[in-house]
Homo-oligomer: A and B are copies of this chain.
């Protein structure tokens, strides 16, 4: 089920959206402030974001940048500001669409369909291979031969290990900066020390790489980040 995060400080708009979206069987989570929004997005990563620019605590642009620091989730801006300057700013900051209030509900829904259509396109590659192991993104399963018996066994990954692996595998071949990884796994807050990363990468390698001390797929790019090489 597609999960939508709706951020707006006007309760009646929040309610109207909630009702209409739930009726289309979206899962809806809501936030009324910028802080709430970022926290909610980190805890339950949404597939779509509907964002009002006029929030009480921070500017909506801050939310866009806060999200774009670690996720590519499509963002639709819903705002009362009609000036094209505002629109350009929001779109260039990383938003994907901009609808001005008052708005037609059916148009908004159509635009959301467009966004979810696009974002799903690249994601379907449910199986990835690392050495002897097969990773099934969809069912969150890692299978491979046992160390000695050779039988096919499922490898146990902890939630943190899984999130880390997922981020890397979803950007095959690309370098993923430590910032990105930390934000994706531990939330958008600032993480000055990246020692978690080293620990968990080590654990992943120990579970997935044939020779953990000489990784062939879970590569380190010193000073920059990590890379999953398919």
Give chain A's interface residues, CB within 8 Å of chain B. Answer: 72, 84-85, 87-88, 91-92, 95-97, 104, 106-107, 109-111, 113-114, 118, 121-122, 138-141, 158-159, 162, 173-175, 221-224, 227
For A229, the closest partner residue in chain B by CB is B154
A227–B140 Cα distance when bound, in Å, is 10
Q: Check A96 against B114 for contact (C-beta < 8 Å).
A: yes
A138–B172 Cα distance when bound, in Å, is 12
Q: Check A106 against B91 for contact (C-beta < 8 Å).
A: no
A121–B173 Cα distance when bound, in Å, is 13
Residues of chain B within 8 A (CB-CB) of A87 are 104, 107, 110
Given contacts A84-B106, A97-B97, A139-B174, 17 further A-B contacts (CB under 8 A): A72-B121, A84-B104, A85-B106, A87-B107, A87-B110, A88-B110, A91-B110, A91-B111, A92-B113, A95-B114, A96-B118, A121-B122, A140-B174, A140-B224, A141-B173, A158-B222, A158-B223
For A163, the closest partner residue in chain B by CB is B224
Q: Check B121 against A106 for contact (C-beta < 8 Å).
A: no
Q: How many copies does the complex hold?
A: 2
A139–B118 Cα distance when bound, in Å, is 21
Q: Check B118 against A224 for contact (C-beta < 8 Å).
A: no
Residues of chain B within 8 A (CB-CB) of A139 are 173-175, 227
Q: Check B114 against A91 for contact (C-beta < 8 Å).
A: yes
> Which of A87, A138, A140, A162 neighbours the largest number of chain B CB atoms within 10 Å of its CB?
A140
Q: Check A159 against B223 for contact (C-beta < 8 Å).
A: yes
Residues of chain B within 8 A (CB-CB) of A224 are 140, 159, 162
A227–B139 Cα distance when bound, in Å, is 9
Residues of chain B within 8 A (CB-CB) of A114 are 91, 95-97
A161–B120 Cα distance when bound, in Å, is 30
Residues of chain B within 8 A (CB-CB) of A84 are 104, 106-107
A221–B122 Cα distance when bound, in Å, is 22
Residues of chain B within 8 A (CB-CB) of A223 are 158-159
Residues of chain B within 8 A (CB-CB) of A104 are 84, 87
Q: Nearest Cβ in chain B — how far from A174, in angstroms?
A: 4
> Which of A96, A110, A111 neighbours the largest number of chain B CB atoms within 10 Å of its CB?
A110
